[in-house]
A and B are shown apart, each in its own frame.
Chain A
Amino acid sequence: MDLHITDIEDPDINYSNEPANIPLHRRPSISIRAKIAISFSLFFILSFTVTGWSYWILTRLENKIEFLEIADNYMVEIQQARRFEKNYLLYSTDLEDALGHLKTADEILTQNSEKIETILGRDHFATMVSYMTKYHGQLVLLGRAENDAEKELVVPKLRQFGSQMVSFAGEFVEKEQNSATRMFLLAKRVPLYFMGALFVLMVFVFTFLTRQLLLTLNRFMDYTIRIGEGDFSPITPARKYRDEFTKLAEAFNHMIKELDHKHNVLLESHKLRAIGTLVAGVAHELNNPLNNTLLTASMLTEDFHTLSDDEKIEMVNDVIGETERAQRVVKNLLDFAREGETEMTPLEIDKIVEDSTRLVVNQVKFAKVDLKLDCETNLPKIHGDEQKLKQVFVNLILNAVDVLPPGGEIRIHVKKDKSRGYVLVTVTDNGPGIPEHIQGRIFEPFFTTKSQAKGTGLGLSVSRGIIKKIGGYIHLTSSPGQGTTFTVSLPATESPSEIMSK
């Protein structure tokens, strides 16, 4: 039987040309429709075979029964002939009776010669006929005998042929009866065997199809969970062939692409919001060096003639120092705000976290919150996008600042997770904590505990998307009254020893 290899192309929706779908498409196609068709064909072929066989065996039985009837009639006639032969010899009755019966037997054979021939075969039929002819010849000789002596000469041969004729026919009748009984038994049993085979086949097909469907459905359920968590890598082939699910996978990949695009837009808009928050702090941060420069320059011009050279130099150096300070502030914000594609580069995580704390230093100061950063030495590098990682840490710190009352504490700890090859960044606050029933929803997009004006509910969902994309994890531990810890685990790209050797 050949496999039904069908083409499951649909001209209306076709995502198969998208780059992400090429691996999905590079497989032979065995559709679910074909599998179902094969299963039904198997059932049909099995039923057809059994029905055909039953028809054949019943026809054969019919023939046998007919033959047995004919054979029975024939047997009666030749046995009668022999009985009249004996009567003739013992009581000298009329020999014509025996000849008459033999004639009837001969008629039976000639009338049914075809049927008998098919069952006995040509040779046996010929033997049967020859026995009868020989017996008939002897019987005619017996009829012509004039006296007892002549009769005595014919009798041995007559008896020999007679008994051969009867026993040959009897043997065949018995043999055919046995064969008919066997056929009956078989015809009775085969439907039972068929039922058993049908049951086994049904169980097999059922488990095979459901396993195939359920396993694939489960896999797709896992995909949706994965995508929901922000992992936008395309679906790759998990089986050796294509079917209707491939179409679904292609549609999924298309959706993932769209989601990824929308996620990037979201990321950008969230970043703009973060920039808005930071700018307020940065304005203050810029005003200080600007003010220092303006005051110093003003006093330098005002008192130019009365100041000593040392004092003048000190003031000019102050102007230079404060200008550089302003430059650093601007550069840090620009690094954060710079538009651009995701750039994956090896990064020093401690530097990223430090820059992030510098960006929010004013928000922290205004909220009268204490921020402490503690980095382990010899940290392995991580692989990621500098800007996006800063966005995550800025977001985590600003969240902590928002929930803390004046005098609150934020502790940031950067350390190695030696056993798993990860670098951990924990951001801990001693704020009111997050109630348990909210903890599960905290990473959902648009979920926020802040007022409409303060939060969009995108921060943590965007952060999780960023971290997932570089193969990391973000999770929180919190209990009401005990504060909250967010842990960001990022895969290390190098072992610490490699860094030591540099």
Chain B
Amino acid sequence: MTKPLEVLLLDDEPIVGRRLKPALDKIGCRVEVFQSPTEAAARIDEKEFDIVVTDIRMEEMDGIQVLEHVQKTWPRTKVIMITGYAKVDLAREAMGKGVFDFIAKPFKPADLRRIIFRAAEALGSPIDSSLLNDEPVAQ
């Protein structure tokens, strides 16, 4: 088994972290969940994550600031942004700043997994795609 992907998940909605942590654990990620951007930033200073998933709209600090913070310390880290609703100017700004991809609320856990899978490939440590196909049992 390859080294697990280190993922930091930041969203001010607690349910998002509660549901996505087990969803990402399944595909071999080690997930740390944060609701406060400042706490997340402090943790980023301590540790290099492979992937940072962050909400754009938050109090204290927004997603763009988190992106800049990550890139300053860890240029290799892929940043994925969650948006409440698509706003072209924000997306353009983030793209220009080198965000890996966007995912718009509402989304399914599988949607995020697919993006993480691509990010892992881009990082050179791909995830076993069979894990990705582990779609809901009911289907």
Q: Which residues of A contact B105 (CB under 8 A)?
A: 287-288, 290-291
* Chain A residue at minimum C-beta to C-beta distance from B84: A284
* Chain A residue at minimum C-beta to C-beta distance from B110: A298
Q: Is A292 an interface residue (CB 8 A)?
A: yes
CB distance from B62 to the nearest CB of A (A): 8
Chain A interface size, under 10 / 10 to 19 / 20 to 34 / 35 or more: 20 to 34
Q: Which residues of A contact B19 (CB under 8 A)?
A: 292, 295-296, 298-299
Chain A interface, >50% SS class: helix
Q: Is B92 an interface residue (CB 8 A)?
A: no
Taking a contact as CB atoms under 8 Å apart, the answer to whether B137 and A302 are in contact is yes
Taking a contact as CB atoms under 8 Å apart, the answer to whether A299 and B106 are in contact is no
Taking a contact as CB atoms under 8 Å apart, the answer to whether A287 and B22 are in contact is no
Q: Report if A366-B57 is in contact (Cβ < 8 Å); known contacts: A287-B85, A295-B15, A299-B19.
A: yes
Interface flags for B125-139 (1: CB within 8 Å of A; 0: not) read 000000000011110
Q: Is B44 an interface residue (CB 8 A)?
A: no
Interface flags for A259-281 (1: CB within 8 Å of B; 0: not) read 00000000000000000000010
Q: Is A106 an interface residue (CB 8 A)?
A: no
Q: Is B41 an interface residue (CB 8 A)?
A: no
Taking a contact as CB atoms under 8 Å apart, the answer to whether B108 and A298 are in contact is yes
Q: Which residues of B contact A288 (CB under 8 A)?
A: 13, 84, 105
Q: Report if A295-B59 is in contact (Cβ < 8 Å); known contacts: A284-B85, A287-B85, A304-B137.
A: no
Q: Report if A305-B137 is in contact (Cβ < 8 Å); known contacts: A291-B13, A365-B57.
A: yes
**Complex Cα distance A166/B130, Å?**
165
Taking a contact as CB atoms under 8 Å apart, the answer to whether A292 and B137 are in contact is no
CB distance from B68 to the nearest CB of A (A): 15
Q: Is A123 an interface residue (CB 8 A)?
A: no
Taking a contact as CB atoms under 8 Å apart, the answer to whether A291 and B23 are in contact is no
**Complex Cα distance A292/B55, Å?**
13
Q: Which of B13, B62, B108 makes the CB contact (< 8 A) with A294? A: B108
Taking a contact as CB atoms under 8 Å apart, the answer to whether A283 and B15 are in contact is no
Q: Report if A293-B106 is in contact (Cβ < 8 Å); known contacts: A299-B23, A301-B138.
A: yes
Q: Which of B62, B104, B109, B135 makes the CB contact (< 8 A) with A299? A: B109
Taking a contact as CB atoms under 8 Å apart, the answer to whether A301 and B137 are in contact is yes
* Chain B residue at minimum C-beta to C-beta distance from A296: B19
Taking a contact as CB atoms under 8 Å apart, the answer to whether B22 and A299 are in contact is yes
CB distance from B9 to the nearest CB of A (A): 12
Q: Which residues of A contact B13 (CB under 8 A)?
A: 288, 291-292
Q: Which residues of A contact B110 (CB under 8 A)?
A: 298
Q: Is B20 an interface residue (CB 8 A)?
A: yes
Q: Is A368 an interface residue (CB 8 A)?
A: yes
Taking a contact as CB atoms under 8 Å apart, the answer to whether A292 and B16 are in contact is yes
Chain A residues in the interface with B (C-beta under 8 A): 280, 283-284, 287-288, 290-296, 298-299, 301-305, 318, 322, 365-366, 368
Inter-chain pairs besides A301-B136, A365-B59, 17 sampled, C-beta below 8 Å: A283-B84, A284-B84, A284-B85, A288-B84, A290-B106, A295-B20, A295-B107, A295-B109, A296-B15, A299-B19, A299-B23, A299-B109, A301-B138, A302-B23, A302-B135, A302-B137, A322-B15
9 contacts between A and B (CB under 8 A): A287-B105, A290-B106, A291-B105, A294-B107, A295-B23, A295-B109, A296-B19, A304-B137, A365-B59
